Amino acid sequence: MKLDSETFMIFDGAMGTMLQKYGLNPGQPPEVFNITRPEVIERIHSEYIQAGSQVITTNTFGALESKLKPTGYSVEEVIQSAVAIARKAAGNHLVALDIGPTGELLEPIGDVTFEEAYDVFARQVKAAASTGEVDLVLIETFFDLEEAKAAIQAVKDHSSLPVICTFTFQKQGKTMMGHDVKTVATTLESYGADAIGINCSVGPSEMLPFIETLVSSTQLPILVQPNAGLPKIIDGQTVYDIEPQEFAQFIKAMADLGVKWFGGCCGTTPEFIRAIREVL
């Protein structure tokens, strides 16, 4: 299977939401499950495949030395284990290395240099690319164009893998750094991203106007992965307010705008992926 920008492709849904169901403790790095409970990660991947996912993302969103050091596991151990699990579950479907932001602000607002951020991402890419089992890289939930540039450059410099970069926007249609949708689209295209998109941040209804702008701002393939609505805290638990069928109707509206690639972010489960498949 290859990435196809002309036909619908379905990515997977949330990993953290599923891991909470399978015993992830608050504050525990989800990526450690790749080593301590690989059977759980494989089961989640398999549930998404059975629901209709054609692209499986590795459980590596926060595979950073700063987060993993207290666990005693290295970035390389965690990523290579994640890739092996995803490949086993995915079979002939695609495996995407999942890369999240560093969690730190780059200069001049923060203390992290461009080179330091680049090195973090390069380490992740090299660890995954060395396995020969990854089909693409998904850089997701970014909000800073400079950090995204570091990540995209790291992928291009250390692999031949296609790279998708998706940003997260607040309700007013701008990132935490103040970038609007059109600026993000044109800049990511200039950085060499092979596809771009929007994930997380808000639910599909709030995201729909952003998608309209994005479609008119780029010729690149677009990936959309909304949350299952807006989060609410009930009895100490984070819950989301949209059911799979309603979620899928917004996906259909985005498809009518020309978007071909879809998945889910926070709060989504295999039931949401199944609903996407049915509506498309």
Residue set of the binding site for Zn(2+): 200, 265-266
Q: Are the C-beta atoms of residues 69 and 32 closer than 8 Å to each other?
A: no
Distance between CA atoms of residues 239 and 108, nearest Å? 36
Strands (E), 20-143: 55-57, 94-99, 136-142
Say how far apart CA 266 and CA 230 lie, in whole Å. Answer: 9
CB-side exposure of 28: number of CA atoms within 13 Å?
Answer: 14
Annotated binding-site ranges: 200, 265-266
Phi-psi region for residue 174, left (φ > 0), alpha (ψ -120 to 50) or beta? beta
Query: From the CB of residue 233, how many other CB atoms can be counted at a distance below 10 Å?
Result: 8
Q: Find the Cα–Cα–Cα–Cα dihedral 260, 266, 269, 270, rounded to 10°.
A: 30
Alpha-carbon distance 103 to 73, whole Å? 19
Taken as a whole, the chain contains a residue count of 280
Q: Tell me the residue type at 66.
A: S
| Distance between CA atoms of residues 74 and 209, nearest Å | 41
Q: What residues contact residue 189 under an 8 Å CB cut-off, 6+ apart? A: 196, 218, 220
Give every CB contact of residue 220 below 8 A, 6+ residues apart in sequence: 185, 188, 189, 193, 194, 195, 196
